[in-house]
Structure formats: C-alpha cells, structure tokens
Amino acid sequence: MEQIFAIVTTIFPLILLFVLMYFMVIRPQKKEQSKHKALLANLKKGDKVVMTSGIYGTIESIDETTVNVSVGSGMGITFDKLAVMQVRDQA
C-alpha cells in the first residue's frame, strides 16, 4: 500500500505540471495560430497590412504563398504570405 502511495505522490506533480503547461502555454498558442490562419485566409487586394518586419503597406496582389505589398511611391515588395502580422484596414 505504501508503494502505491509513493508512486502516486511521485507521478501526481508531473501530471499536474503537464496540465498547467497545456492551459498556460499550448492552448493559447493554438488559439493564436488559428486566428493568424483565419487572418491569412481573409486577405484581399487593397487591405492595409503590417508585416512581421514592421513594414506598413497595401496589398497589391496576392497568390497562394506570396503577397505583393505597395509601400509607397510605386514601390512594391514581395513577401511570404506568413509574414503578414496584422491587417490595419480592410478594403
């Protein structure tokens, strides 16, 4: 009986730590990933965006994996679609 109690008292903190880690780290990260995935799915021409590099611009064209962003004065930069961090104003 004492051996079972010793095993349970040894394993219980590990299980508790895993549960806490799931709710404090893993679950919020999955929510953030799903929000970002939805943001990328709803991108369209004319949206004003902020890139992960801090560059502000307007989407000129978009395809499966890349986004062409106009950053002013007719200058466009091509980014990977995953580099879009935030949409400022939707078209």
Comparing CA positions, the residue from 84, 6, 10, 78 lying closest to residue 48 is 84
Same-domain check for residues 15 and 36:
yes
Residues 28 and 57 reside in one and the same domain? no
CATH of the domain at 87: 2.30.30
Cβ-in-10-Å burial (0-12, 13-18, 19+) of 35 comes to: exposed
**C-beta separation of 64 from 80 below 8 A:** no
Statement: residue 90 has pLDDT above 80? no
46 Cβ neighbours under 8 A, 6+ residues apart:
58, 59, 91
| Together in a domain, 37 and 49 | no
- pLDDT exceeds cutoff 90 at 4: no
Shared domain for 48 and 89, answered yes or no, is yes
Residue 56 is predicted with a pLDDT of 96
Same domain, 51 and 91: yes
How many structural domains compose the chain?
2
Structural domain including 49 reads 44-91
Q: Are residues 50 and 84 in the same domain?
A: yes
pLDDT tens, residue by residue, 11-64: 999 999 999 999 999 999 999 999 999 999 999 999 999 999 999 999 999 999
